[in-house]
Amino acid sequence: MDKITLEQLSELFEGVAQIFTEKKDELCDMDAKMGDGDLGLTMHKGYGALPQLIRDNAEAGDVGKTLMKAGMKMASLVPSTMGTLMSSGVMEGGKALKGKEEIGPAELAAYLTAFAAGIQKRGKCALGDRTILDAVDAAAKKATEAVEAGAADLDTVINAAVAGADEGVEATKNMTPKFGKAAVFAAKAIGTPDQGAVAGRYMVMGLRNYICG
């Protein structure tokens, strides 16, 4: 696959919705040990609604503006911390693609890069803080490297992004949490991956499920 059109945009995020339907209980179980236990529900609800929000807010010839509008609507549906971070990522990613008629390899890398930036800005977190940022930033960097190396198809870029997200999740095993309830359980966090980073990896994997079919 070399591009995703506006008409395919909702289908792209159907792939993400599906993976969070499958992983909902797993993420809730992980989160129950270190947080509020609702991570899977948040991701399932937010990304489950996003495909329809994209269809309802489609802007002709503009995938970026469509994502910005859909992300804003998504934010009101999942007002929790993680819901806010994810919808902020979608909105920032959309902002980076404003005016684009379709998503090609370079646009996909730009979306992931802006998605990570949106999370960092909204969450006021940094790399190494053991958050979702550690996974999505690593994914964005690998995607960008693939584009810079001459990748001409979306499959190559998204596979590189998933590999980066895998590395980011693995790295969180040796990080100490600094935010939320997870910080209270910092001692038992070592050796286990951050649940937010795992959710970020699943988000990237969901995109791959559609792109690579």
- DSSP string for 35-64: S-S-HHHHHHHHHHHHHHHHHHT--TT-HH
Task: Work out the pLDDT band at 186, boundaries 50, 70, 90.
Answer: low
Q: Hey, how many other C-beta atoms are within 10 angstroms of the C-beta on 187?
A: 7
Summarize pLDDT for 92-102 with one digit per residue, the tens.
999 999 999 99
Q: Is 181 a residue whose pLDDT tops 70?
A: no
Q: What is the mean pLDDT of the chain?
A: 94
Angle at CA of residue 95, ends 92 and 100, nearest 5°: 140
Could you identify the residue written with the tokens 């810079």? 148
pTM: 0.95
pLDDT of residue 191: 87
Per domain, the residue ranges of the chain are 4-211
Summarize pLDDT for 118-133 with one digit per residue, the tens.
999 999 999 999 999 9
CA distance 206 to 12: 8
Mean pLDDT calculated for residue range 138-156: 97
Residue 37: DSSP 8-state: S
H-assigned helices in the chain? 6-34, 39-56, 63-77, 81-96, 105-123, 132-148, 154-172, 186-189, 195-211
Closest CA to 171 of 198, 143, 153, 205: 198
Which amino acid, 208?
R
Q: How far is CA 156 from the centre of its chain?
A: 18
CATH homologous superfamily for 4-211?
Answer: DhaL domain (1.25.40.340)
Q: What is the CA radius of gyration of the chain?
A: 16
Closest CA to 97 of 83, 115, 124: 115
